[in-house]
């Protein structure tokens, strides 16, 4: 299979791909699509984040759906709401010219009543998080007796999030004649429990690249710093990459919120997402990030699964990841679809040994960056302080007119250039003590 037009996928899917000038398949697509178009057994596909796994299973899956029969024939299980929404949109796009084929995405955090209504009209493919799908199966809203395909997308994350019990309850209602397709960017040993439990029928495997290896287009960088310098150094690099979309990963929800307030105070255009935010607000922030109305996204690891945004130039690992899988998925938010990008990890001295383990397991080479000099950090602070002044709102009625005029009288005799120079000099003197 040299290109999509020469494949045997549905002609209407080819038409949708051609409309977006998507012609040359990625390696995982080349090796997977011909197999899944005819294979009736189980399947495992592994490939790095951002290499096109959704189309690798989505094109053959939709090609094999019988849209004349109004029953659920395929379920795609995903670990997060963001990934559920992303995969759902991709499948709807692929089926754009197959109007009778109906795909629905269901996940928690949105109206159950609305989702029940959406599922009432002969849905063929359900993309779902396990918890919400289990709820709808138990309510007898979704019936899986006619299931032909089950896709586990990001299977490792579903295991780590403890979804196995929910998956068991879901699949207990299905006829085991369905085929199971498992896809992931990483294949840690723990995933073997899913493989042994759910995949046993004429199993075929396609493994692209080394296991758990981040995309080749990523420049891996590292900076060691004391805790008190962390924010200033981040601000330094955010200014350096101000023309790029960036994602900053924090370990905790509270860390995300704290950093969001700090960036907002420094007049950076940013948004935050984590598990405690209502789904509507998470969607709004993601829409703003995709559209470019905010340049920086701050997120917990929940967002490293399912944030598929074009042209993310740099990923900041503000808090060091706990595992090699977490590093792979975080860094994989940049360098997508053959592009290049930067993954910059911040570590404290006591974290060096832990990172060395991740580095060895992933066979990575980090470029060690020097801490910005005191002078560079001071200059950056001054520029950001000037930006805060420029973007600050007028004080309004906080001061009476006489006081406001008295303050202005102290500065009125200065030219604009003199005023700017004196502001800068005053700031630098106060910063230097």
Q: What dihedral do alpha carbons 362, 368, 369, 370 form, nearest 10°?
A: 150
Query: Who's near 358: CB < 8 A, 6+ residues apart?
Result: 321, 323, 324, 327, 364
The Cα 295–Cα 314 span in angstroms is 11
Query: Who's near 113: CB < 8 A, 6+ residues apart?
Result: none
Strand, coil or helix: what is 163?
A: coil
The Cα 206–Cα 216 span in angstroms is 19
Burial category of 335 from C-beta neighbours within 10 Å (exposed 0-12, middle 13-18, buried 19 and up):
buried
**β-strand partners of 316:** 248, 344
Q: How many helices (H) and strands (E) does the chain have?
A: 17, 14
Note the pLDDT of residue 414.
87
Domains of the chain by start residue, with CATH? 4-207 (3.40.50.300), 218-372 (3.40.50.300), 375-431 (no CATH)
Q: Model pTM greater than 0.95?
A: no
| Other C-beta atoms lying within 10 Å of the C-beta of residue 228 | 7
Note the pLDDT of residue 215.
66
Q: Is the dihedral of CA 247, 252, 256, 262 positive or negative?
A: negative
Per-residue pLDDT of the chain (433 residues; tens, 9 = 90+): 778 988 899 999 999 999 988 889 999 999 999 999 999 999 999 887 778 899 999 999 999 999 999 899 999 999 888 889 889 999 999 999 998 999 999 998 788 888 898 888 889 999 999 989 999 999 999 999 999 999 999 877 776 666 878 888 888 888 778 999 999 877 766 677 777 777 877 899 998 876 555 667 889 999 999 999 999 999 999 988 988 899 999 988 899 999 999 999 888 889 998 877 887 888 888 889 988 899 999 998 865 566 667 788 999 999 998 888 788 888 888 876 567 889 999 999 999 899 999 898 888 889 999 988 888 888 888 888 888 888 877 776 777 888 888 888 888 888 899 888 888 888 888 877 5
Note the pLDDT of residue 161.
65
Note the pLDDT of residue 192.
72
Burial category of 391 from C-beta neighbours within 10 Å (exposed 0-12, middle 13-18, buried 19 and up):
exposed
Alpha helices in 266-373 (DSSP H): 279-291, 324-331, 352-362
Note the pLDDT of residue 65.
96
CB 301 within 8 A of CB 253: no
The Cα 328–Cα 198 span in angstroms is 25
Note the pLDDT of residue 306.
60
């Amino acid at each position: 299979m040299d290109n999509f037009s020469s494949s045997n996928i549905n002609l209407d899917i080819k038409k949708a791909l051609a409309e977006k000038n998507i012609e040359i398949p990625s390696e995982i697509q080349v090796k997977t699509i011909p197999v899944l178009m005819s294979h009736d057994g189980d399947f495992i596909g592994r490939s790095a984040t951002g290499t096109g796994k959704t189309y690798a299973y989505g094109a053959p899956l939709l090609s094999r759906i019988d849209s004349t029969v109004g029953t659920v024939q395929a379920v795609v299980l995903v670990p997060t709401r963001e990934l559920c929404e992303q995969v759902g949109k991709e499948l709807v796009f692929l089926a754009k010219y197959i109007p009778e084929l109906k795909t629905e995405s269901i996940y928690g955090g949105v109206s159950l009543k609305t989702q029940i209504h959406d599922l009432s009209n002969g849905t063929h493919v359900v993309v779902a998080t396990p918890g919400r799908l289990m709820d709808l199966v138990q309510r007898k809203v979704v019936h899986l007796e006619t299931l032909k395909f089950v896709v586990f997308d990001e299977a490792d994350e579903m295991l780590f999030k403890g979804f196995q019990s929910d998956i068991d309850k879901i699949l207990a209602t299905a006829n085991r004649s369905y085929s199971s397709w498992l896809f992931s960017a990483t294949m840690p040993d723990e995933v073997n429990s899913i493989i042994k439990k759910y995949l046993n029928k004429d199993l075929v495997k396609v493994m692209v690249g080394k296991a758990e290896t981040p995309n080749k287009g990523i420049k891996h960088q590292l900076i060691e710093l004391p805790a008190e310098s962390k924010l200033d150094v981040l601000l330094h690099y955010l200014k350096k990459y101000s023309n790029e979309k960036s994602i900053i990963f924090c370990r905790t929800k509270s860390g995300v919120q704290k950093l969001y307030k700090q960036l907002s105070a420094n007049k950076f255009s940013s948004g935050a997402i984590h598990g405690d935010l209502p789904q509507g607000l998470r969607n709004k922030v993601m829409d703003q990030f995709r559209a470019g109305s905010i340049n920086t996204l701050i997120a917990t690891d929940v967002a490293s699964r399912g944030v598929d945004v074009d042209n993310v130039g740099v990923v900041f690992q503000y808090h060091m990841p706990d595992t090699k899988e977490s590093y792979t998925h975080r860094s994989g938010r940049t360098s997508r679809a053959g592009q290049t990008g930067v993954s910059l990890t911040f570590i404290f001295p006591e974290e060096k040994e832990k990172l060395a383990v991740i580095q060895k397991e992933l066979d990575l080479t980090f470029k060690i960056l020097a801490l910005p000099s005191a002078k560079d950090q001071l200059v950056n602070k001054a520029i950001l302080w000037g930006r805060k002044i420029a973007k600050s709102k007028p004080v309004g009625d906080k001061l009476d007119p006489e006081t406001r005029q008295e303050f202005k009288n102290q500065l009125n005799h200065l030219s604009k250039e003199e005023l700017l120079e004196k502001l800068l000099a005053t700031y630098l003197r106060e910063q230097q003590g």
